[in-house]
Amino acid sequence: MGNSYFIGDVHGHLDKLIALLRNVQLVDEKLRWIGQEATLCFMGDFVDRGPDGIGVIDFVMGLQREAADAGGRVLAVMGNHDLILVAVRFFPQALLAYDGSTFLTNWRRNGGITSDLERLNSSHVEWLLELPAMLKLGKLLVVHADAWFYTRYGRTIDEVNYVFRQLFEDKDTDGLDRLLEDFAERFTFRDFTKATEFMQRYGDTRTRQIIHGHTPITKLSGQPSEKITTPYVYAEGLCINIDGGMYLGSPGFVYRPE
């Protein structure tokens, strides 16, 4: 774990992401990976709300290749904004409810950026669809959202990851809509018992903490986002929220576990 770096929800803020990675010397001035064998992990929600979501994805995809060549790793979990962007690409006009909403209208309402959709190409789509819903890294269970709903999609990490992907394979627009609605859930891990149960369900004997994004720390701590530069650790130390809220004005931060 000594050589791991975590970054929360970037939401199109490529400039902030670059500043963070340069500051911890994972990239050089030409934005090349110099992290050698380090592991860099993202919490998802690369796109929407901020100016350059596709720029963020392109940069992270490139870093992932460079890191792999150097013996390092770039990992990420799937965020709901990444998911809906792909849903909009495949099924923009799918009718989701009697009120006439579609993936396109929902995406726009939730901060969708037209230029992201225009620039989204098939390699971005393939890459996004490969992102797992959850992963384990050292002592940490990594998941986008602080939410219980994942448990309705599978008993193991592999099952949940499979079911997320299968919704696209099956062109199951109702299922995708339900999943996106499920992401409205937050704050579940403030309940220590729930957090413990979630961790036991998906973790293993090494797992000690859950790390997540999705809910900007200001919504838990009340601190103004501009001042948030450290993780929010809660549930008796069991949970680590690293979503500083870059789209709300936080410069973001890099979290390095002990």
Q: Site residues (CB under 5 A) for Mn ion?
A: 45, 79-80, 214
Residue nearest Mn ion by beta-carbon distance: 214
In the complex, the smallest distance separating the C-beta of residue 144 from Mn ion, rounded to whole angstroms, is 6
What number of helices (H) and strands (E) belong to the chain?
10, 9
- In terms of CB distance, is 73 or 186 closer to Mn ion? 186
To which residue do tokens 């990490």 refer? 157
The kind and range of the H/E element at 141 are: strand 140-143
Closest CB to Mn ion among residues 108, 208: 108
Nearer to Mn ion, 45 or 58 (CB): 45
| CA separation for the pair 90, 155 (Å, rounded) | 28
Cβ closest to Mn ion, residue 79 vs residue 203: 79
SS3 219: helix
Q: Measured between alpha carbons, how far is 71 from 91 in angstroms, rounded to an integer?
A: 38
CB of 60 to Mn ion, least distance (A): 16
Instruction: Compare residues 72 and 245 and give the one whose CB is closer to Mn ion.
Output: 245
CB of 3 to Mn ion, least distance (A): 27
Smallest distance, Mn ion to C-beta of residue 145, A: 6
How far are the Cα atoms of 24, 45, 257 from residue 72, in angstroms, in the given order?
15, 22, 17
CB of 81 to Mn ion, least distance (A): 6
Q: What strands lie across the sheet with 4-7, from one edge to the other? A: 73-76, 39-42, 4-7, 254-255
Q: Does residue 71 contact residue 39 with C-beta atoms inside 8 Å? A: no
DSSP label at residue 71: T
